[in-house]
């Protein structure tokens, strides 16, 4: 159900509760106030959930950068990299600058068009991606590196998972690109209709 309908239903329920509360205040006490108090609490809880909790969840889901492999392939290439990639996405701009300083292609050069949204994909040789990932890991890993952000271990771990996925793709000669994903799930029909797989 679209969120707009939920808002409309919530507004209607709150308006009805307000009207009933006004009637109750003008009349004698009956069983209705107990029901109204319950409905008031339920509608207020729903309002707080929609206005506070849901936006907080969306802010936490800042997206992931994940590898995407051209079909046909063995389907076992990603090595856990599909469920990671948050640190790579959060630090993409810094990683691009670092890659340029290391004389390799920037991470953003490998993505982020998505065929699900009818965008044209550009496939890349996994060897090119491996050069970038390995150079970034080497530049970030030393304890004296001046990496500007916290979470260096998480970033190195995610780069390592991406490296393993690209090694698998290279062994099978499967081209890849990178996608930016906002959610973890994907339906079966969506997976079947895509040009590649995760």
Q: Which pLDDT value is given to residue 1?
A: 44
- Residue 152 CB partners (closer than 8 Å, separation 6+): 140
Q: Are residues 52 and 78 in the same domain?
A: no
Q: Are residues 134 and 51 in the same domain?
A: no
State the average pLDDT over residues 6-22: 73
| pLDDT at residue 125 greater than cutoff 50 | yes
Task: Identify each DSSP E strand in the chain by its residue range.
Answer: 64-70, 176-181, 196-197
Helix H segments across 61-144?
86-90, 92-101, 126-140
Range of the domain at 10: 3-60
Q: Are residues 91 and 50 in the same domain?
A: no
C-alpha of 197 from chain center: 17
Rg (CA), the chain: 25
State the average pLDDT over residues 101-128: 92
Q: Are residues 48 and 95 in the same domain?
A: no
Q: Are residues 126 and 181 in the same domain?
A: yes
Residue 165 in contact with residue 81, Cβ under 8 Å? Answer: yes
Query: For residues 41 and 133, which has the higher predicted lDDT (pLDDT)?
Result: 133
The residue among 44, 60, 76 that closes a domain is 60
Q: Are residues 8 and 22 in the same domain?
A: yes
| pLDDT at residue 14 greater than cutoff 80 | no
Q: Are residues 33 and 98 in the same domain?
A: no
Q: Are residues 46 and 76 in the same domain?
A: no
The residue among 23, 42, 60 that closes a domain is 60
State the average pLDDT over residues 43-48: 70
Q: Which pLDDT value is given to residue 198?
A: 73
Query: For residues 128 and 53, which has the higher predicted lDDT (pLDDT)?
Result: 128
Number of domains present in the structure of the chain: 2
Q: Are residues 98 and 183 in the same domain?
A: yes
Percentage of residues of the chain with pLDDT beyond 90: 33
**The pTM is what?**
0.66
Residue 170 in contact with residue 127, Cβ under 8 Å? Answer: yes
């Amino acid at each position: 159900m679209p969120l707009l309908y939920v808002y409309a239903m919530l507004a209607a329920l709150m308006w009805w509760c307000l009207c009933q509360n006004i009637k109750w205040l003008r009349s004698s006490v009956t069983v209705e106030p107990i029901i109204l108090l319950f409905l008031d609490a339920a509608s207020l809880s729903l309002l707080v959930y929609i206005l506070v909790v849901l936006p907080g969840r969306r802010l936490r889901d800042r997206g992931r950068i994940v590898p995407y492999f051209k079909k046909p392939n063995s389907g076992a290439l990603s090595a856990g990299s599909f469920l990671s990639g948050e640190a790579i996405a959060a630090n993409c701009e810094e990683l691009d600058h670092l890659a340029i300083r290391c004389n390799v292609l920037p991470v953003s050069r490998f993505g982020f068009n998505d065929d699900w949204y009818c965008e044209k994909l550009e496939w890349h040789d996994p060897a090119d991606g491996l050069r970038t990932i390995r150079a970034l890991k080497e530049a970030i890993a030393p304890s004296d590196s001046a990496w500007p952000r916290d979470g260096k271990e998480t970033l190195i771990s995610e780069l390592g998972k991406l490296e393993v996925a690209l090694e698998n793709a290279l062994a099978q000669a499967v081209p890849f690109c990178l996608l930016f994903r906002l959610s973890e799930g994907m339906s079966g029909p969506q997976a079947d209709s895509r040009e590649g797989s995760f």
